[in-house]
Chain A
Amino acid sequence: MRSISPVRLFFKTVHARAVPRMIGMKREPSWIFLEILVPLVNTTAFVYLYRALHAPEAYVGFVILGSVLSAYWMNVVWAMAMQLHWEKKEGMLQLYVLSPSSLMAILVGMSYGGIVMASWRAALTLIVGLLLFNVHFATDQLPLVFLVFGVTLIALYGLGMTLSSLFIRWGREPWHLALAFHEPAFFLTGMNFPLSALFASVPGVISLISALLPISFGLDALRQLLLPGTIVGVFPPMTELWLIAGLAVLFLTTSYISLKFMERQARVEGTLALRLS
Chain B
Amino acid sequence: MSQSPLAIKTDNVGRIYKKKAAKRVSRASSPDSSRQLVALDGVTLEVEKGELFGLLGPNGAGKTTLIKVLTTLLTPSFGSAEVLGYDVVREPKAIRERINMVSGGETSGYGILTVKENLWMFSQFYGVPTKEAHRRSDELLARLELTGMKDTRVSGLSTGERQRMNFCRGFITDPEVLFLDEPTLGLDVHIARVTREFTREWMRKNPERTVLLTTHYMAEADELCDRIAIIDKGRVLACDTPENLKRMLQAQPVFQIRAGGLSESGIDGIRSTTGVIGLTQEFDLETSHHSLNLILQEESVISDVVGAIGAAGGKLVGLEKHEPTLEDVFVKLVGRSLKEDVTE
Contact = CB atoms under 8 A, between A and B. Distances in A.
B96 A100 contact: yes
Contact of A100 (B73, B107, B126): B126
Interface string A146-168: 00000000000000000000000
A90 B112 contact: no
Contacts of B72: 97-98, 267
Interface of B is mostly: loop
A273 B68 contact: yes
Contacts, number: 97
Given A20-B113, A277-B59, A277-B64, A270 B96 contact: no
A268 B75 contact: yes
Given A98-B101, A99-B96, A267-B75, A20 B106 contact: no
Interface stretch (A22-30, A65-73, A170-178, A231-239): A22-30
A143 to B, nearest CB: 34
Nearest to A28: B112
Contacts of A270: 15, 17, 68, 74
Interface string A34-74: 00000000000000000000000000000000000000000
A83 B80 CA distance: 33
B127 A9 contact: yes
Contacts of B122: 16, 95, 99
Interface in A258-277: 267-268, 270, 272-273, 276-277
A17 B64 contact: no
A1 B107 contact: no
Centre residue among A23, A28, A96, A270 by max chain B CB count within 10 A: A270
Centre residue among B17, B73, B125 by max chain A CB count within 10 A: B125
A19 interface: yes
Contacts of A23: 112-113, 117
B128 interface: yes
A91 interface: yes
A169 interface: no
B74 A1 contact: no
B121 interface: yes
A163 to B, nearest CB: 22
A277 B60 contact: yes
A104 B68 CA distance: 22
A20 B126 contact: no
Interface of B: 15, 17, 59-60, 63-65, 68, 71-75, 93, 96-101, 106-108, 110, 112-113, 117, 120-122, 124-128, 153, 173-174
